[in-house]
Amino acid sequence: MSELLRVEHLTKIFTSGFIGGFEIRAVDDVSFTIRKGEIVSLVGESGSGKTTTGKLILRLIQPTSGRILFEGKDILQMSKNELKKNYYRQVQAVFQDPFASFNPLHPIDRAFDLIFDSYLPDVSKGERDEMIDKALIQVGLNPDQIRGKFPHQLSGGQLQRILIARALLLKPKLLIADEAVSMLDASTRIDVLNLLGDFRDKYGTSVLFVTHDLALGYYISDTTIIMYRGTIVEMGDTEKVFHNPLHPYTQMLLESVPDLNVKWEFKGIEPEKEEGTVYSLQGCRYAPRCPKAKEICFRTRPELHEVEKNHWVACHLYGGE
């Protein structure tokens, strides 16, 4: 599979606006690739930087540093016009909160019109209707119960599926799905995951599947990236990461999932440390919680290191000093 997206040393630091304020390194030197037709899950507890990574890739926010290459082209160098023509046509996203994605004053159909007007202006009204109905049916919705309705007349799960239908309408090369199935009941969720898998098989669409649910990540993805406090701690073939977890954080996460068919909910997040302390700037970010921490862990940040083929880990227990 050839490369579609490459993220290099991506960093986003949010700063509070006040004197004496602090920095939040939401994404801190993150590098990974997504190949054509690959489903990559980005997994981590709340606040680990998953959504920020997705928003950076979509250029909804500017990175502090780093590069984002799509089919070899640096999207940070693209003008608005180029982005629209060469990037957003190919890269679609579905976000966590479906209510925020719809204008409450307009019927649902308007959300589809925007896509057609922007990217498929030559499609006739009749064809549009046919494509919308087909897309809705694909995600398990009955067009008669959806079209012409206003957002408040539909459930969160229905809205989420409409957003997925809309994103897939353009047959994008990359779909960024950020907790995109969180509002669906268990069986619909599996149907939608299967739809994403079918879509990939049929059209070669790559997916960045952002989730805090390890079981969903396991179910859907070829590659898994585990994030902790803005950094990648482990990544690689999903089977390897799940069946041979190497990083103490991944091991801890997986121990709390007794059965991969059961939804994982992370419990026991320690309170956020003041950013700017020694832990956030140097050393391993997991050191304060890690039962295996050594002296070096507090001093030097571990680099990602390929321990076996397609399996990387950032931990001083493997390679390094």
Ligand X SMILES: Nc1ncnc2c1ncn2[C@@H]1O[C@H](COP(=O)(O)OP(=O)(O)OP(=O)(O)O)[C@@H](O)[C@H]1O
Is 108 or 307 the residue whose CB approaches ligand SF4 more closely? 307
- For residues 231 to 250, the per-residue mask of contacts with ligand SF4, x marking binding by CB under 6 A and - elsewhere, is ----------------xx--
24 contact choice in ligand SF4, Mg ion, ligand X, none (CB below 5 to 8 Å, kind-dependent): ligand X
Is 40 or 297 the residue whose CB approaches ligand SF4 more closely? 297
- For residues 278 to 307, the per-residue mask of contacts with ligand SF4, x marking binding by CB under 6 A and - elsewhere, is ------x-xx--x-xxx--x----x-----
Tell me if 48 contacts Mg ion by CB under 5 A: no
Distances (CA, A) of 68 to 41, 167, 199, 255: 18, 21, 24, 34
- d(Cα 286, Cα 316) in Å, to the nearest integer? 11
Is 180 or 195 the residue whose CB approaches Mg ion more closely? 180
Interactions with ligand X, residue window 188-227 (CB under 6 A): 212
- d(Cα 128, Cα 136) in Å, to the nearest integer? 12
Beta bridge partners of 92: 175
The full length of the chain comes to 321
52 contact choice in ligand X, ligand SF4, Mg ion, none (CB below 5 to 8 Å, kind-dependent): ligand X
Tell me if 41 contacts ligand X by CB under 6 A: no
212 contact choice in Mg ion, ligand X, ligand SF4, none (CB below 5 to 8 Å, kind-dependent): ligand X
Tell me if 52 contacts Mg ion by CB under 5 A: no
- Paired tokens of 309: 């083929």
Tell me if 47 contacts ligand X by CB under 6 A: yes
Binders of ligand X: how many residues, by CB under 6 A? 12
- d(Cα 236, Cα 92) in Å, to the nearest integer? 24
146 contact choice in Mg ion, ligand SF4, ligand X, none (CB below 5 to 8 Å, kind-dependent): none
Return the closest-CA partner of residue 7 out of 29, 36, 40, 25. 29
> How far is Cα of residue 168 from the mean position of the Cα atoms in its chain?
16
The residue of the chain with the least Cβ separation from Mg ion equals 51
- d(Cα 122, Cα 250) in Å, to the nearest integer? 49
Interactions with Mg ion, residue window 134-153 (CB under 5 A): none
- d(Cα 64, Cα 87) in Å, to the nearest integer? 21
User: Smallest distance, Å, CB 317 to ligand SF4?
Assistant: 5
- d(Cα 116, Cα 271) in Å, to the nearest integer? 45
Is 51 or 158 the residue whose CB approaches Mg ion more closely? 51
What 3-state DSSP class applies to 101? helix
β pairing state of 206-211 and 311-313: unpaired
Return the closest-CA partner of residue 265 out of 273, 256, 274. 256
User: Smallest distance, Å, CB 238 to ligand SF4?
Assistant: 21
Tell me if 48 contacts ligand X by CB under 6 A: yes
- d(Cα 108, Cα 149) in Å, to the nearest integer? 6
User: Smallest distance, Å, CB 316 to ligand SF4?
Assistant: 4
Identify whether the C-beta of residue 290 lies closer than 8 Å to the C-beta of residue 249: yes
> What angle (nearest 5°) sits at the alpha carbon of residue 159, between those of residues 156 and 163?
135
Is 158 or 211 the residue whose CB approaches ligand X more closely? 211
Which residues are at the interface with ligand SF4 (CB under 6 A)?
Answer: 247-248, 284, 286-287, 290, 292-294, 297, 302, 315-317
Which positions touch Mg ion (CB under 5 A)? 51
What is the contact surface with ligand X in residues (CB under 6 A)?
A: 14, 24, 26, 44, 46-52, 212
